[in-house]
Amino acid sequence: MKILLWHVHGGWTDAFVRGRHEYLLPATDEGGPWGLGRGGRDWPAAAREVAPADLREEEIDVVLLQRPEEIDACERLLGRRPGRDVPAVYLEHNTPKGSVPNSRHPLADQQEIPVVHVTHFNNLFWDCGSARTTVVEHGIADPGYLYTGGRAHYGVVVNEPVRRWRVTGTDLLPGFARTGPLEVFGMGGEGLGQATGLAPDQLQVRGDLPTAALHRELAGCRVYLHLLRWTSLGLSLLEAMHLGMPVVVLDATEASRAVPPEAGAISSDLGQLQREAARLLADPDEARARGRIARQAALERYSLSAFHTAWDTVLADTPQRARQVYAAAERRAQ
């Protein structure tokens, strides 16, 4: 299939474009959210950059939507409306916002475009009405077992921890810093030390590293901390598990499905998490043993092959589903 999608979520797209299809990524000189293209990533040749003005010349089989605004953008660029003139699916990356139990999805109740959630938690909490929904869990390109745990530090990967604060559990970092130093990776970490009140010997802000360097540096930390309160399921957590790191995880949203307790520790009791984290930091052998369990669990549930198989099923069904919707619409019109 030839699939049109925008480069919205780099980690997720990294897995998706390693499938067996052709992937068209709109690219402009300015880049940004509507023209990032490959974004300089080392992706297969099947992930091809296309100028927006050239999209009408492409024989697109399916549009993979990730933002509501993309429906109108596709109609403008393709001259065809997703769900009506070209088959489409809508990929929902995020947990709902606002009044969570009552959060209506932007595509709720329509029949033309199925909604694909990345976690069962999201599928449960988004109100999609009568819209058809399904779940395709994350897949990770296995970086290999890289864990050394040579530094008795906690590793954390989080983007914009100061701005997002309680969402990312940034306010919880000082409690863990009392038991061991932190290394924080990711975008937007400037000012984190001042915001948390942590001294340089308690906190290193490592910044946004290229993927291979991130994996190598992160795997040198003895324990991975995942303290997000409200997230679909952080890909960085799954990557850390693939690396062979023991993980200490706040039991929120989808985390309990992804992380067996034997892989480190998972709880909503902060005192218990801090004690378990400190124990693993002080015991390299136990940390390594739990990290191996984490890696095995991640390989079994979040493999790239299972991810692509599930997506192939969704994509294969999309044109047939679109034809059924079109036929039903014609019958109603008659």
35-82 per-position pLDDT tens digit: 999 999 999 999 999 999 999 999 999 999 999 999 999 999 999 999
Q: How many structural domains is the chain composed of?
A: 2
Could you say which residues of the chain have pLDDT below 50? Answer: none
User: What residue numbers bound the domain in which 105 lies?
Assistant: 2-139+304-333
The whole-angstrom distance between residue 22's C-alpha and the CA centroid of its chain comes to 21
Pair 89, 111 in one domain: yes
Domain-located, residue 146: no
How much is the CA Rg of the chain, to the nearest whole Å? 21
Pair 101, 219 in one domain: no
Q: What is the pLDDT of residue 98?
A: 83
182: helix, strand or coil: strand
Domain-located, residue 144: no
Q: What is the pLDDT of residue 324?
A: 55
132 token code pair: 């058809």
pTM given for the model:
0.91
Burial of 312 (0-12, 13-18, 19+ CB in 10 A): middle
Spatial distance between the Cα atoms of 218 and 211, rounded to a whole number of angstroms: 10
Domain-located, residue 224: yes
